[in-house]
Amino acid sequence: MPKKAILAFSGGLDTSVVVKYLQEKYNMDVVTVTVDVGQGDDQKKIAAKAKKLGVKKHYNIDAKKEFVSDFIFPSIKANSLYQKKYCLATALTRPLIAKKVLEIAKKEKVTALAHGCSGKGNDQVRFDVTFSSGSNLPIIAPIRDLNLDRKTELKFAKKHGIKIDSVAKKFSIDQNLWGRAIEGGVLEDAYKEPPSDVFIWVKTKNLAANPSYLEIQFEKGVPVAVDGKKLNPIALIEYINKKAGAAGVGIVDHIEDRVIGIKSREVYETPAATCLIEAHSDLEKMVHTKHENKFKSLIDDEWSWLVYSGLWEDPLRKDLDAFIDQTQKRVSGTVKLKLYKGSLRVVGRKSKYSLYSYKVATYGKGSTFDQKLAKGFVELWGMQSTEANKLQRKR
């Protein structure tokens, strides 16, 4: 019986090279799986590419709906931004892709699971951990195992007639519905401003002279309508990506700590994620108590850290989700965002669960808040702090 590997296949440089390596160096038959998470690729072209590479069978799975409902929406509820910046666009897809690969692995009775990740990035962790959580099959990662670099891969691709598009020669790109990540090439100089041809989703030149607005309606922590229109989750995200991107909103440029310890310069285009997380967290502040706000931000951070670090499958993630879901019952309402020449600002919010009370907060006449009550509270609140300082002064 020939050995048979199943490979998560994007049709890009890494995974195309891996198909050939598996066939030639590992002597294996290859089954490829492309999971559509809204990367906008032509699935027919990818299937043709797989065929040309001589794979035994190619699968194309549309997982966009599942990606939104089971991965993006939980991440919005968790206001998920790794190191306060990165919306986890790539990180969220990996466990989903790996799960889909596992489903087909069973059907195809393969002898190994394969991926095209390097030994330097985070994706190897995400694939390996999800694979090993759901199967005992061995994992093959030729790029990591053979210590391949990009230049060697490009040479190998050329030798095997594998076509690589011109952008992929300059940068390493990963994109889906939730964001576009750009790495490598000139971006590896952490002090150099990214050239404008890096950006495709976000407009950087000739931005509109007037501001535009986005009105996002949330129901139990997830967006359900935008600008007064009820849209399905995929269309809603696409709509915001377009509108905010056109206003220059959604570029992120930061130094990121990878799981294995490397610091890397990462550039992202994430217009919808940027707007939705900003709006969602603002709405939470209005409906949650100060205690919920303080505690939940710790949980949110832990969630982001765990998911970034490839531990989607850890039971803790579900534990955190249970808490987060409980907090979302009152996160319903509308947030108004102003987009102007690349900047984003929340300029209004309302909710039937709002804890903001005009009558209590107003500095105007008719406030129902009795200021006299505050005196005693402040005295007790600061008692230990003032005592400690009194003691210091005596010394």
Residue ranges that bind ligand ARG, judged by CB under 6 A: 90-91, 122, 172-174, 181, 183, 256, 266
User: DSSP code of 172?
Assistant: E
Residue among 16, 36, 94, 282 flagged as catalytic: 94
Residue among 16, 75, 172, 304 flagged as catalytic: 172
The nearest distance, CB 91 to ligand ARG, in angstroms, is 4
The nearest distance, CB 151 to ligand ARG, in angstroms, is 16
94 tagged catalytic: yes
Q: Which is nearer to ligand ARG, 173 or 234 (CB)?
A: 173
Closest CA relative to residue 125, chosen from 139, 146, 104: 139
The residues facing 266 across adjacent strands are 254
Length of the chain: 395
Q: Which is nearer to ligand ARG, 262 or 383 (CB)?
A: 262
Q: Which is nearer to ligand ARG, 12 or 221 (CB)?
A: 12
Contacts of 262 (CB under 8 A, 6+ apart): 120
Between the alpha carbon of residue 182 and those of residues 195, 200, 265, 315, 392, the distances in Å are 12, 11, 10, 31, 54
Contacts of 183 (CB under 8 A, 6+ apart): 171, 172, 173, 264, 265, 266, 267
Check: CB of residue 57 under 8 Å from CB of residue 65: no
The nearest distance, CB 250 to ligand ARG, in angstroms, is 15
Residue among 29, 36, 123, 174 flagged as catalytic: 123
The nearest distance, CB 173 to ligand ARG, in angstroms, is 5
Q: Which is nearer to ligand ARG, 260 or 383 (CB)?
A: 260
Between the alpha carbon of residue 348 and those of residues 231, 286, 363, the distances in Å are 21, 11, 19
The nearest distance, CB 179 to ligand ARG, in angstroms, is 9
Check: CB of residue 113 under 8 Å from CB of residue 131: yes
Residue among 14, 29, 128, 174 flagged as catalytic: 14
Burial class (CB in 10 A: 0-12, 13-18, 19+), 340: middle
Q: Which is nearer to ligand ARG, 80 or 172 (CB)?
A: 172
Q: Which is nearer to ligand ARG, 2 or 261 (CB)?
A: 261
**What is the bridge-based pairing of β-strands 139-140 and 172-176?**
unpaired
Check: CB of residue 331 under 8 Å from CB of residue 218: yes
CA 71 – CA 345 distance, rounded (Å):
26
Between the alpha carbon of residue 59 and those of residues 7, 42, 44, 110, 226, the distances in Å are 10, 14, 11, 14, 34
The nearest distance, CB 180 to ligand ARG, in angstroms, is 9
Catalytic residues: 14, 94, 123, 172
